[in-house]
DNA sequence: CTCATCCTTCGACCTCCATCGAAGCATCCG
DNA sequence: CGGATGCTTCGATGGAGGTCGAAGGATGAG
C-alpha cells in the first residue's frame, strides 16, 4: 500500500477500449450525445450507457441533459492533457491500432484538440505569435502581451467577453504529433471559432479540420514564420 | 473502431493497482529490483514477475539483469510524463488512496521526479535560472544560454560529458504539486546528483528528499528569486 | 559441492467486468 | 393520446486476467 493519488483508478477507466474510444472522440471538444458515442466506440447503446456512468462517476466526463438527449464533454483540460500524453506515448511506440490511412497526414496537419487548433497549423500560429512578442512565454505560463491584445482584437475577438469567464485565457498545450506547444485556453478556443467564421477552416468528421484555399493564404499572411 | 494510437492498451497496463504501485515507485528514478517492487506493490514475487513481464512487453519499463538481480527502470521520460499527468489529475480530484500523512507536505516541498529535482525546490531552481537568463525558455523547448553554460560549469558539472549522451540536455517537466515547470533532462539529473555531492540534499525513502541545513542556505544563495 | 537467494513458469482458482437481449422510463412529435 | 426516439436498468453469459502455491532454473556465497 503506497500513499499518493490513486492513479490506477483513473487509468483503469481509460484502459477499456470502448471507453478509450469514447474519450478520444470527446477530445474534439464537441459535446456528443450518448448514441453518437456508442457508434463511435462500436458498442450498443446499453453498454455505452454503463460506460458513461462509470466515466462520470470517475470524474473524467461531464454530462448535461437537454430534452431527451444527453450531451457529454470531457470534465477538464487536465483530462485532455492526460489523454494527449497517453496518445503521445502510444504514437511514439508506433503501436497504431490500425494501419495509418491517408487521414493521418491530415490529422497531423490540422486538428482540434479539446476545442482549440492543434497540429502543424496550431504550432505555426503559436510560434508566430511568440516570435512577434504577441505572446509572452514564460516558464510559469503564457500571457497575452499588450501588443497581442491589439492584434487579437483586430482579428475580431471580444477580449472582454473572454475575460469574464473563469477559465484561463492562455494555456500552452503540448502536441503529440509535433511535440511542440500550441495555444489552448479560452483564447485558443475563440481563435478557432473565429477562423471558422472567416471561412478559413471547416470542421470535418471527428477532430479533423479542413483548410480552405482562402484560409491557406490568409493564414500565412496573418501568422508569418 | 477508430484510428489512431492505441491508448487503451497502455492505460490498461497502468490501470491495475499492483502495476500502478510499481510504476509510481519507479518514478523515483532509482533502479529497483523485482523483489523490492513486489514488496512495494504488496504482492508476492510470482505476481510481480508476471506484472513486470507485461510492463516490459508494453514498453513502459526497461529491465537489466545484473547477477541474480533484475533491475527495473521506467522506459523513457515520456512514460514518466504520463504518470505525472495522471497523478496530477488524480490529486486534483482529491481522490487519495489513504489519508495524507505528514509525508505529503515534505513530498510537495522536494522530491525526485524520474531522477531530477521536483516540488517547490525544483520549481524555484527552474524559475531562478530562467529569470537570470541562464535558461532560454521558448515555446518549442528549453535550452542552456551561454551564460548558463558558465554557471553550470562553475557549479561543478561536466557539460561535455553530458552532451556525449543521446538524451536531451534540457527538458521542461510539469509538476503535479506545483503545477509549474521544473528542469528535467540530463542536466536536471546532473544537478540533482551534484547537490547530493555538495551535501545539500539527502535521499530519504522512496522519492522523498531531505534538505540539510547547509543545503537550505546555500541553495537560497545560488538560486535567488 | 551445497545451500541460499532471486526470479520464473505452470496450473488452478476466482473475481471482476464488458457485452448484449429484453424490458422499463422519460421526452418529444403529431 | 399513441408512436417514436433516446436513454437506462436488470439479468445472464462469457471471457479475461489477477492471484498465489508449488516447483524448477539460475546465480552467488561459503
Q: Report H helices in chain A.
A: 7-14, 17-26, 34-41, 45-57, 77-92, 103-109, 119-131, 146-154, 159-163, 185-197, 213-222
In this structure, the dihedral spanned by the alpha carbons of residues A54, A57, A63 and A64, taken in order and rounded to 10 degrees, is: 130
Cα A80 versus chain centre, distance: 7
Residue A14 pLDDT level (bands cut at 50, 70, 90): very high
pLDDT at A47: 94
Tell whether the model's pLDDT for residue A2 goes beyond 50.
Answer: no
Question: Burial code of B184-199, b = ≥16 C-beta within 10 A, e = fewer?
Answer: bbbbbbbbbebbeebe
Element (H, E) at B117: strand B116-118
Q: Is the ipTM of this complex over 0.85?
A: no
pLDDT at B3: 47
- Measured CA to CA, the distance from residue A202 to residue B116 in angstroms comes to 44
CB B145 within 8 A of CB B152: no
Tell whether the model's pLDDT for residue A177 goes beyond 80.
Answer: no
Nucleotide nearest to A33 (CA to C1'): D6
Residues 6+ apart with CB under 8 A from A15: B8, B11, B12, B13, B14, B15
pLDDT at A98: 41
Nucleotides of C under 7 A from a protein CB: 5-10, 17-23, 26-28
Q: List chain B residues with CB under 8 Å of A21.
A: 2, 8
Residue A123 pLDDT level (bands cut at 50, 70, 90): confident
**Other CB atoms closer than 10 Å to residue B65's CB: what's the count?**
8
CB A178 within 8 A of CB A91: no
pLDDT at B56: 93
**Other CB atoms closer than 10 Å to residue B26's CB: what's the count?**
25
CB A175 within 8 A of CB A118: yes
pLDDT at B204: 62
CB B139 within 8 A of CB A124: no
pLDDT at B141: 64
Interface test with A, best of B1, B6, B7 (most A CBs within 10 A): B7
Residues 6+ apart with CB under 8 A from B46: none
As a whole number of Å, the end-to-end CA separation of chain B is 51
Smallest CA-to-CA distance from A167 within A146, A189, A136 is with A189
Whether A91 and chain B come into contact, CB under 8 Å, resolves to: yes
Walk along chain B (225 residues) in steps of 10 and give the mean pLDDT of each run. 72 95 85 88 91 94 84 88 88 52 51 67 83 79 84 87 68 57 76 84 67 79 83
Q: Which residues pair with B141 in a beta bridge?
A: B138
What digits encode the pLDDT tens for the residues A62-73? 988 877 888 898
Structural domains for chain A: 7-75 (1.10.10.10), 94-222 (no CATH)
- Measured CA to CA, the distance from residue B181 to residue A140 in angstroms comes to 6
Q: Taking CA atoms, what residue in A is nearest to B206?
A: A2
What digits encode the pLDDT tens for the residues A64-100? 887 788 889 899 888 988 998 898 888 777 544 443 3
Interface test with A, best of B8, B87, B114, B120 (most A CBs within 10 A): B8
Q: List chain A residues with CB under 8 Å of B82.
A: 82, 85-86, 89
Q: Strands, DSSP E only, in chain B? A: 32-33, 61-66, 69-74, 111-113, 116-118, 135-138, 141-144, 171-174, 181-184, 201-203, 209-211
Q: Is the CB of B8 less than 8 angstroms away from the CB of A15?
A: yes
Is A152 or B212 the better-scoring residue by pLDDT?
Answer: A152
Tell whether the model's pLDDT for residue A53 goes beyond 90.
Answer: yes
SS3 A179: coil
Tell whether the model's pLDDT for residue A135 goes beyond 70.
Answer: yes
CB B93 within 8 A of CB B176: no
Amino acid at each position: 500500500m503506497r500513499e499518493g493519488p490513486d492513479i490506477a483508478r483513473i487509468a483503469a477507466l481509460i484502459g477499456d477500449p470502448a471507453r478509450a474510444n469514447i474519450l478520444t472522440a470527446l477530445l474534439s471538444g464537441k459535446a456528443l450525445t450518448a448514441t453518437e458515442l456508442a457508434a463511435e466506440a462500436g458498442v450498443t447503446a446499453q453498454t455505452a450507457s454503463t460506460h458513461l456512468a462509470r466515466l462520470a462517476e470517475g470524474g473524467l466526463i461531464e454530462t448535461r441533459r437537454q430534452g431527451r438527449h444527453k450531451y457529454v464533454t470531457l470534465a477538464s483540460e487536465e483530462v485532455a492533457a492526460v489523454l494527449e500524453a497517453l496518445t503521445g506515448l502510444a504514437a511514439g511506440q508506433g503501436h497504431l491500432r490500425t494501419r495509418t490511412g491517408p487521414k493521418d497526414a491530415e490529422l497531423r496537419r490540422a486538428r482540434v484538440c479539446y476545442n482549440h487548433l492543434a497540429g502543424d497549423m496550431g504550432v505555426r500560429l503559436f510560434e508566430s505569435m511568440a516570435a512577434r512578442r504577441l505572446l509572452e512565454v514564460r516558464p510559469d505560463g503564457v500571457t497575452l502581451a499588450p501588443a497581442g491584445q491589439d492584434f487579437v482584437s483586430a482579428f475580431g475577438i471580444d477580449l472582454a467577453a473572454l475575460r469574464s469567464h473563469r477559465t484561463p485565457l492562455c494555456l500552452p498545450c503540448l502536441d503529440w504529433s509535433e511535440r511542440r506547444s500550441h495555444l489552448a485556453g479560452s483564447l485558443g478556443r475563440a481563435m478557432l471559432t473565429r477562423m471558422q467564421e472567416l471561412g478559413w477552416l471547416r470542421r470535418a468528421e471527428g477532430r479533423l479540420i479542413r483548410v480552405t484555399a482562402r484560409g491557406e493564404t490568409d493564414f500565412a499572411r496573418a501568422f508569418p514564420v
